[in-house]
Amino acid sequence: MKQNIDLHTHSHYTGGKCSPDELCALAKKNDISVLALADHNVIDGISELRQAGKKYDIHIINGVEIYTRYRNQNLHLLGYNFELGDNKLTQTLNTLQEENLHNVKRSIHSLQKQGFIIDEELIFNGPAKNRGVIHVLEEIERHPINLKKMEKELPEDKRNFFGKVKFYMGYDTPAALRVSEIPTDEAISIVQQSGGFSILAHPGQQLNYKGDALILELVKAGLEGIEMLSPYHSWHQIEHYQIFALEHELLVTGGSDFHGDINFTKKEQLARQWDYFKVPYTFYKNLKKHIPNL
């Protein structure tokens, strides 16, 4: 049987729908033998995932996706294979989570002033340690009166998820929900100090090809590779980043950015990324050549 890997998944500790155990069970059903949880600014689910990995015979790699900023550019940095414990990485993530709590509360209070009914306890008492627009929007849409309000206010082209987020919580709105982030080069250093290595997540989604020079600047700061295989990338981007990585001797990884199955209202053919998106086991074998303890 062909085995696959997935080094970019999310749990209910950030924006995912599954617990770490549920995530591992789904991975097993999809022939995934190496799995990493890369929650946003959170590592709380890793211990649970490691226990689930033993149960389902899946090799677990410690992972995290850190929100960062470099040269006025939002970048997501994947950290892998770091040590768990009271280290610089844990301390930094705790600070980012405190900032996130403040940012979310500020956004909620602004939305309430605009007339939205929002039960803060349902947002803050859930499993999520880093809350975002998805948690706020889910709570807003739980109330019929809010749905009627949105029906009146939203233009036709803003009635999808991203349109609603931009209309009500975008950076230029009173309820702007700002992301808690740190400088990218600082995040790279922190991951290294904690025994791990850093990978730039889905570069094609955040940068165009002109961003290659920026990536090389981050390589000088300690970045070790790029996420080449991603659902955010077209085939041409995958081809480009594969050649780029070979030319500059960078590590390459891949992951589905899995958040949960999609609940369609009609019969679907594809319900999750794993139905069409696969990362071959050879990616893990190649990584092991450079990082033997992975």
Among 128, 146, 169, identify where a domain stops.
169
In-domain check, residue 279:
yes
DSSP 256: -
Rounded alpha-carbon distances, angstroms, from residue 266 to 5, 25, 262, 273: 30, 25, 11, 18
How many angstroms separate the CA atoms of 140 and 100, rounded? 19
For the cut 90, the answer to whether the pLDDT of residue 181 exceeds it is: yes
Same domain as 71, residue 203: yes
pLDDT in tens, 71-91: 999 999 999 999 999 899 999
How buried is residue 280: exposed, middle or buried, by Cβ count under 10 Å (0-12/13-18/19+)? Answer: middle
Same domain as 54, residue 163: no
Same domain as 269, residue 199: yes
% of the chain exceeding 90 in pLDDT: 90
DSSP 15: T
Same domain as 65, residue 141: no
Among 118, 144, 169, identify where a domain stops.
169
Unique residue bearing structure tokens 């090809």: 209
Same domain as 192, residue 78: yes
Same domain as 200, residue 137: no
CB count, 10 Å around CB of 271? 12
Same domain as 226, residue 141: no
Predicted TM-score (pTM) of the model is: 0.94
Beta strands (DSSP E) in 111-217 are 182-183, 197-200
In-domain check, residue 177:
no
* Model pLDDT, residue 275: 82
Same domain as 76, residue 21: yes
Same domain as 262, residue 142: no
In-domain check, residue 176:
no
Same domain as 106, residue 83: no
Q: Which of 75, 93, 88, 20 is nearest to 52 (CA)?
A: 20
pLDDT in tens, 208-257: 877 999 999 999 999 999 999 999 999 999 999 999 999 999 999 999 99
For the cut 70, the answer to whether the pLDDT of residue 1 exceeds it is: no
- Structural domain count, the chain: 2
Residues 132-151 have a mean pLDDT of: 96
Residues 21-47 have a mean pLDDT of: 96
In-domain check, residue 174:
no
> Please, what sign has the CA dihedral across residues 230, 234, 238, 244?
negative
End-to-end CA distance of the chain: 23
How many angstroms separate the CA atoms of 51 and 270, rounded? 30
In-domain check, residue 110:
yes
In-domain check, residue 162:
yes
In-domain check, residue 36:
yes
**If pLDDT is split at 50, 70 and 90, which confidence band does 15 have?**
confident
Task: Quote the domain boundaries for residue 108.
Answer: 101-169
Among 136, 169, 202, identify where a domain stops.
169
Same domain as 105, residue 86: no
Same domain as 62, residue 195: yes
Residues 100-113 have a mean pLDDT of: 97
pLDDT, the chain, mean:
94
